[in-house]
Amino acid sequence: MSNILVVGKPNSGKSLLFNRLTGVSQKVSNFPGVTVEIKSASFRKHQLIDFPGTYSLDPITKDEQIAVDQFVESISNKTVKGVLCMLDSTRLERSLVFALQAQKMALAAKVPVMFALNMMDDIERIGESVDVEGLARDLSAKVFPISTRKRQGLDQLSDALDEMASKPATFLPVESLDLDFDHIAKAHELHRVYGASVHKLLAQQNKLDSFFLSGVFGGLAFVFIMLLLFQSIFTWAVPLMDGVEAGVAWMSDLVSRNMSDGVIKDFLTDAIFGGLGSFLVFVPQIMVLTFIIGLLEDTGYLARASVICHRGLSKVGLSGMSFVPYLSGFACAIPAMMAARTIASPRRRLLTILTIPLMSCSARLPVYSLLILVLIPPIKLVGGILDLRGLVFFGLYMLGIVSALFVSAMLSKFAVKNEEDVPFILELPPYRLPSWKPLLQRAWNSAKAFISKAGHVIFAVTVIVWVLGYFPNGAGNLDNSYLAMMGKAIEPIFAPWDLDWRYGVAILASFVAREVFVGTLGTMFGIDGADENIAGLAGNIQADGLSLASGMALLVFYVIALQCASTLAVMRKELGSNMIPIYTFIGYSLMAYIVAWFTYLAFV
Amino acid sequence: MTNAASLWNIEQGDTAVVSGFVGISTTYLRRMREIGIDIGTEVICLNRPPFSAPRQFQICDGVFSLDKEIAGSIKIMAS
Ligand SMILES: Nc1nc2c(ncn2[C@@H]2O[C@H](COP(=O)(O)OP(=O)(O)OP(=O)(O)O)[C@@H](O)[C@H]2O)c(=O)[nH]1
Ligand SMILES: [Mg+2]
């Protein structure tokens, strides 16, 4: 086996190149520190390995540590046949500081190195150029000018990589190089002699920054962008959701008309259409959410948002670097916790990881949407620009964020030791126009992941709930079923919020996965109401008479409770502690229960 | 010349020359050199967002945000 390592400065385009050469879809985003794990995939007869970016071989954050440790370990490994060092031609000096260090270490271990000079499209756009031959001569290595984004120069690079990995010895410099140089000074010199002048690019960037980072406008822009994010999840997805709902209803209707009555028909209409179907309605929202987060990541705005938030987040023990993990927490807590590796301070990283579960992840979306449809009337506000449902939805996300800040502040004050702190240093990436195709691809992938989860976990729970709810007495007899027997035993737990046993069962089942709440309720209402699913689950719950106070208590419970085993497992791995996830789980469960109770009392 | 002049004090749009570091650990001193901040380098202050948010500095071909803690420990020559 022959491995080629792809290393370089953060945000230089390593992962995009990796994707182009291997055909996989590793996450690419316009922010330094996106890749936080080593990832490998096959390229022709070889393996290409994508590394987290790092500014030097002396790491200060956990993602850099992973890159450096792995690089140092790999370089002496016999299977490593070459190193591809990514250089960002618009940030040549910064790129070379690391590249020269990496080259030194690789050559000392007799591993050949090749350079890719990326982002040449940007250099060409401002009518500049880089002296590639000169650079190659001074580096005693091949240098390939490329634009990964525009797919320019990739064929030559691929052929050369293939050749290097097949015949590594021929790619080593002929005469032995003087490796005893100061890499920082040499990087400066090489850039001065061969590099392009990037003043025009920086001037463009500064113009936008003086708006997005300015006092009043910067703050307003931040609030506006965040509001748009949440509002759009709710409003933009509506037509698509209506479409899915109509589709499910149509199929359910078709089946119930053409099948003779019996257990099979009941199972299909209750569990499949009623349970899983009511859950699928929310897929469009997941897609819109993923799309919008991706849009923000691509533009380069996230780095600015991190700067704007830094002081505020510092006050509660977090950091501006917590912003990106928090934002990805709206999609899923698992990658979010891993993204926290870019936070240099161990204490701030710990607090970030502990509070990420309070960001409303996409698994809560179906629960929020369903209950909002049931409880909140569609009232238009401010001449139709906003609507009440969108606002309540935004309020739930805000409640999660505020709780996270509160928990972090409390822990930072009373529990987590205040060790020596580390400074905030963040490179501001250029502003870029988003690449639409990968964005749409990502939204589509998120939908697929959501649906495949529906196919496994949620399907299994739905089937169990249906069997327990259907037997021994069949359709329309939910109240005398096995499920009811069990449910009534736990009824007292949720009695203070005036919820009956069916909701109790749905809540407990959703400790397997939050979305199960919707499928479970859908199934139970299906069993009870035969094939009246056409009205939609929201309509059924409304007709059943869920009160505003109980519904709000449920919503608040879902904002806070940590009902996700995978999140706890990743927390355990990231923090290297068995006890912290257990305490966190108990803590959030109690907090959710109590705050929900107060909510009930406030609305009743 | 005041001894207290640091990167944190320079006005938006002004250029300063780094003259030394005070109270930075070796790790961060090294990182400062790696991002291009060394004795004798020119640094431009691009932005000073309000409420003591990290400020933006252009160092050679890069733009970095530095908070008060680190920018305040980078001393500059009076120009
Ligand atoms: N204009 C332009 N943009 C590019 C090019 N290659 C990559 N990008 C963009 O640069 C940004 C960073 O790309 P990534 O592939 O995530 O960079 P990376 O080196 O893997 O970054 P880390 O994982 O953070 O170290 C993305 O917004 C890409 O779309 C290119 O050739 N031209
Ligand atoms: Mg990457």
Q: Residue A281's pLDDT band (boundaries 50, 70, 90)?
A: confident
Report whether A223 contacts A256 (CB < 8 A).
Answer: no
**Average of pLDDT values for A237-260?**
85
> Best substitution site from A6, A34, A130 to test ligand 1's pocket, by max atoms within 8 Å of Cβ?
A34
Burial of A395 (0-12, 13-18, 19+ CB in 10 A): middle
- Is the sign of the CA dihedral A508, A512, A516, A520 positive or negative? negative
The per-residue pLDDT for B78 is 67
Decide if A117 is inside a domain. yes
Q: Which two tokens stand for residue A8?
A: 């370089």
DSSP A147: B
**For the CA atoms of A301, A306, A309, A312, what is the dihedral angle to 10 degrees?**
180
**Average of pLDDT values for A226-240?**
79
Decide if A550 is inside a domain. no
The per-residue pLDDT for A501 is 92
Report whether A144 contacts A116 (CB < 8 A).
Answer: yes
- Alpha-carbon distance of A124 to A126, in angstroms, equals 5
* Among A249, A236, A234, CA closest to A280: A249
Length of chain B: 79
- For residue A325, whether the previous peptide bond is cis, meaning omega lies within 30 degrees of 0, is no
**Average of pLDDT values for A343-363?**
95
Length of chain A: 604
DSSP A533: G
How would DSSP label each residue in A446-512? Answer: HHHHHHHHIIIIIHHHHHHHHHHHHTTT-TT-GGGSHHHHHHHHHHHHHGGGT--HHHHHHHHHTTT
Higher pLDDT: A454 or A377? It is A377
Q: What is the pLDDT of residues A104-146, one digit of tens each?
A: 999 999 999 999 999 999 999 999 999 999 999 999 999 999 9
Decide if A116 is inside a domain. yes
Residues 6+ apart with CB under 8 A from A351: A317, A318, A322, A408, A411, A412, A416
Higher pLDDT: A74 or A265? It is A74
Higher pLDDT: B12 or B78? It is B12
Q: Residue B4's pLDDT band (boundaries 50, 70, 90)?
A: low
- Alpha-carbon distance of A573 to A36, in angstroms, equals 14
Give percent of chain A above pLDDT 70.
99
Q: Which CATH number fits domain B7-78: 2.30.30.90, 2.60.40.10, 3.30.110.40, 2.60.120.10?
A: 2.30.30.90
The per-residue pLDDT for B54 is 95
Query: What range defines the domain where residue A55 resides?
Result: 3-202
Q: Residue B79's pLDDT band (boundaries 50, 70, 90)?
A: low
Q: Is A28 left (phi over 0), alpha (psi -120 to 50) or beta?
A: beta
Of A55, A94, A213, the CB nearest to B61: A94
- Alpha-carbon distance of A405 to A562, in angstroms, equals 16
User: Is this complex scored with an ipTM above 0.90?
Assistant: yes
Residue with tokens 């028909």: A265
Q: What is the mean pLDDT of chain B?
A: 90
Q: What is the pLDDT of residues A36-48, one digit of tens each?
A: 999 999 999 999 9
3-state SS assignment for residue A354: helix
Residues of B in contact with A58 (CB under 8 A): 27, 30-31, 34
Measured in angstroms, how far is the CA atom of residue A30 from the centroid of ligand 1?
A: 6
Decide if A538 is inside a domain. no
Of B31, B65, B69, the CB nearest to A60: B31
How near does any CA of chain A get to the CA of B37, in Å? 11
Q: Which atom of ligand 1 is nearest to the CA of A53?
A: 25
Please report, for the domain that includes residue A187, its CATH number.
3.40.50.300
Q: Residue B43's pLDDT band (boundaries 50, 70, 90)?
A: very high
pLDDT at A531 over 70: no
Residue ranges around ligand 1 (CB below 6 Å): A 10-16, 28-30, 32-35, 52-53, 118-119, 121-122, 147-149, 298, 432, 435
- Alpha-carbon distance of A57 to B27, in angstroms, equals 12
- Alpha-carbon distance of A382 to A574, in angstroms, equals 45
Ligand 1 atom 10: the closest Cα is on which residue? Answer: A13
Q: Residue A534's pLDDT band (boundaries 50, 70, 90)?
A: very low
Q: What is the mean pLDDT of chain A?
A: 91
B10 touches chain A (CB under 8 A): no
Ramachandran angles phi, psi of A202, nearest 5° = -65, -35
pLDDT at A202 over 70: yes
Q: In what order do the strands lie in the sheet with A46-50?
A: A39-43, A46-50, A3-8, A80-88, A113-118, A143-145
Residues of B in contact with A195 (CB under 8 A): 61
**Residue type (1 letter), A531:** D
How would DSSP label each residue in A33-72? Answer: ----S-EEEEETTEEEEE----SSSS--SHHHHHHHHHHH
Residues 6+ apart with CB under 8 A from B65: A303, A307, A424, A425, A426, A427, A428, B54, B55, B56, B57
Ligand 1 atom 7: the closest Cα is on which residue? Answer: A13
Q: Residue A530's pLDDT band (boundaries 50, 70, 90)?
A: very low
Decide if A46 is inside a domain. yes
- Alpha-carbon distance of A529 to A447, in angstroms, equals 30
Q: Residue B1's pLDDT band (boundaries 50, 70, 90)?
A: very low
- Alpha-carbon distance of A495 to A247, in angstroms, equals 36
- Alpha-carbon distance of A70 to A37, in angstroms, equals 10
**Average of pLDDT values for A149-153?**
96
Does B56 sit within 8 Å of A428, measured CB to CB?
Answer: yes
Q: Which two tokens stand for residue A155?
A: 């064929």
How many other CB atoms are there within 10 angstroms of residue B23's CB atom?
9
- Alpha-carbon distance of B65 to B63, in angstroms, equals 7
Q: Residue A526's pLDDT band (boundaries 50, 70, 90)?
A: confident
Residue boundaries of the structural domains of chain B: 7-78
Measured from the alpha carbon of residue A53, the closest ligand is: 1
The number of folded domains in chain A is: 1
